[in-house]
Structure 1
Amino acid sequence: MGKVIVDITVSLDGFIATPDDDVERLHRWAFTSIGADDEYTAEARELFEKNEFGAIFAGRRTYEVSGAWSGNPPVPVPYVILSHDVPEKVKSGEWSRFVFVSGDIETAMAKATEVAGGRSVGVMGGADVIQQCLKAGLVDELWLHVVPVLLGSGIRLFDHLGGQQELELLHTKEGPETFRMLYRVVK
């Protein structure tokens, strides 16, 4: 069975977005240009190609802020979205890569695990979903892409964990614009 892996880009001071949900500076490492014709850098393409995910898990806010990736999210697997309702383009089957699930975090993760078919589930956010997964003991690994910028404010990744969480450093890698850290969550 696969792992549950949080895979997210974060500023050096622990934010995943500015107060107005801007992630452009944080994700600059992954794109040669940002806009209607996003083109991924070699570094990002390499990560996507090494992808071990069978599904991506995210919250409705991430889905909305991303513009639902215009129906074509970057990692070519199903996306399981925790939400209370289903958008029309998903209901109609136009955007078939999305599976919407309501309920608590455990129910939603069970669906993501089922959809992943034995491969790992990548948790991409937002912060609230990641915090819920960590609090519930669902996360096996944290993959942090740390960008050398201090945002000063915004959406903090680890605000509401409700206590200490031990991690074991497994791997680091320096990229052109990021420092990657891979941690195992000690359970």
Structure 2
Amino acid sequence: MSKLRVNGFTLSLDGYGAGPDQTLEHPLGVGGEALHKWLVTTRTFHQMVIGKGGGATGVDDDFAIRSFENVGAWILGRNMFAPSRGEWPDDDWKGWWGANPPYHVPTFILTHHKRAPIEMEGGTTFYFVTDGIHSALEQAKAAAGGKDVRVGGGVSTVRQYLEERLIDEMHLAISPVLLGSGEHLFAGLDMVKLGYRCTGQVATADATHVMIGRA
């Protein structure tokens, strides 16, 4: 049965999934890039994102590998695709990742502003959904062909799906970094009342990996 998953979603020690003031120069907000040391050193990141060999194996890489297994579609918030707000300023911007994004499956972008689909290299096609999270999930599940749908973020998008109790399982990587401000994942959310519990945890030098599932 197809699941809605969050994988490899990195938080700071104080609960922020991104730093403040996202810009073209700071796509993860100020200080946000420091959260992802556990990921960017892995062999999986080197192969799937950088497109080169190298990188470390081990527990962090094992979690990175799992995060891409059995994924048939992605859902992303607009900030995960572009730094702009409001109406699309132009049609030249095609995401943060260049011509060959690391998704390689249909990817649905939540937005309030219409835009035609964008077909990229490597099997990624970006679709822009203007009628909410339920519509995006319905379209993503249809496109996934029985495989799982992965919510890639950002924080606001994950929170919306959590509030509706739609996420089946989560893997969070808690990085030993303090941000002080930014986008907080759990502020105001009662995860126990929403029906979630911690199902496991593993610590490495660069992250504590926490698994959350339905109670």
Q: Distance in 2 between matches of 1:41 and 1:87?
A: 37
Q: Distance in 2 between matches of 1:102 and 1:178?
A: 35
Secondary structure of the residue that 1:130 maps to in structure 2? helix
Q: Distance in 2 between matches of 1:41 and 1:78?
A: 27
Q: Distance in 1 between matches of 2:137 and 2:194?
A: 20
Contact 2:106 2:127 (8 Å CA) reproduced: yes
Percentage of identical aligned residues: 33
Secondary structure of the residue that 2:131 maps to in structure 1? coil
Structure 1 letter corresponding to 2:210: M
Deviation at 1:37, TM superposition (A): 5.2
Residue in 2 that maps onto 1:56: 74
Matching of residue 169 in structure 1 with residue 188 in structure 2: no
Render the CA deviation track for 1:84-117: whole Å, top value 9, x for unaligned: 33557x44x3565322222021111111111211
Residue in 2 that maps onto 1:125: 153
30, 37, 41: which one pairs with 2:39?
30
Secondary structure of the residue that 2:109 maps to in structure 1? strand
Q: Distance in 1 between matches of 2:120 and 2:170?
A: 32
Secondary structure of the residue that 2:160 maps to in structure 1? helix
Contact 1:135 1:162 (8 Å CA) reproduced: no
Deviation at 1:46, TM superposition (A): 4.0
Residue in 1 that maps onto 2:25: none
Alignment of 1:36-51 (within 5 A): 41-42=55-56, 46-50=62-66, 51=69
Contact 1:2 1:120 (8 Å CA) reproduced: yes
Which one has a larger percent strand, Structure 1 or Structure 2?
Answer: 1
Matching of residue 178 in structure 1 with residue 196 in structure 2: no
Secondary structure of the residue that 1:68 maps to in structure 2? coil
Segment of structure 1 superposing worse, 76-85 or 18-27: 76-85
Structure 2 runs not aligned, ≥5 long: 22-28, 84-93
Secondary structure of the residue that 1:70 maps to in structure 2? coil
Q: Distance in 2 between matches of 1:100 and 1:154?
A: 25
Render the CA deviation track for 1:123-179: whole Å, top value 9, x for unaligned: 111111111111112111121011011211111112354784342222222233111
Instruction: Rate the CA distance shift 1:181–1:142 in 2: closer, same or farther, 3 A.
Output: same
Instruction: Rate the CA distance shift 1:87–1:45 in 2: closer, same or farther, 3 A.
Output: farther
Residue in 1 that maps onto 2:169: 141
Deviation at 1:48, TM superposition (A): 4.6
Structure 2 letter corresponding to 1:3: K
- Equivalent residues, number: 183
Structure 1 letter corresponding to 2:5: I
